[in-house]
Amino acid sequence: MRLQKYLATCGVASRRKCEAYIIEGKVAVNGEVVQTLGTKVEAGDSVTFCGKAISLEEEHVYYMLHKPVGYVTTVQDEKQRQTVLDLIDDDMHRVYPVGRLDYNTSGLLLLTNDGELTYGLTHPKHHVNKCYEVKVKGQLSEDAKKMLKCGVLLDGKLTYPAKVKVLRKGEKSTTFLLTIHEGRNRQVRRMCEGVGYPVLSLKRISVGKLTLGELEVGQYR
């Protein structure tokens, strides 16, 4: 098995993140630091990550969390802020977030120790839809709606076509559903700002076929 896949299967992180760890020299096989992607791991090999021995998890676990605003989507935070792992009561498994939700974004977040699933859900080639409930300042115009649907220029590259469904229009704000399958940094907020509508609140309500349903803020299942 390739080293990055082995690390992901052991629940260290997603496959792409594990590749970065290897390049950074954080992984050793049989006592030797390995920085070459694609290195094969054989049965009986000793693998360590940051000096700690790792092995295949006996059980994969999967949590759906309704992330509150005010939590960072990381395992640890250098600023000592609360992380989403503070909300999960599981001392038996080493889980990590699948993708990210911004500090000021709430909604559906998956946590697992299954690196292959994480890879399948987060790699752009798999086109897994993510739906957000977005509240923006002002009344969303038809032109802005069309731009969101067709693509917004971010960092010199158009976003993929999105789905837009307006839920409510008030005098000072508009609430709508935005469905995308990419995962660029702060993508939804930047898309809305790019068409002239700053985001007031943002909540992810579904990933693929999984939906928040009646799951309360801060709770998980």
Q: What residue type is 36 in one-letter code?
A: T
Which of the residues are catalytic? 102
Pick the closest to residue 5 from 158, 164, 115, 125 (CA basis): 115
Say how far apart CA 140 and CA 101 lie, in whole Å. Answer: 24
Contact, 26 vs 11, CB < 8 A? no
- How crowded is residue 221: how many other Cβ atoms within 10 Å of its Cβ? 9
Backbone angles phi, psi at 32, to 5 degrees: -110, 130
Could you say which DSSP state residue 104 is in? T
Kindly state the DSSP code that residue 87 receives in the 8-state scheme: G
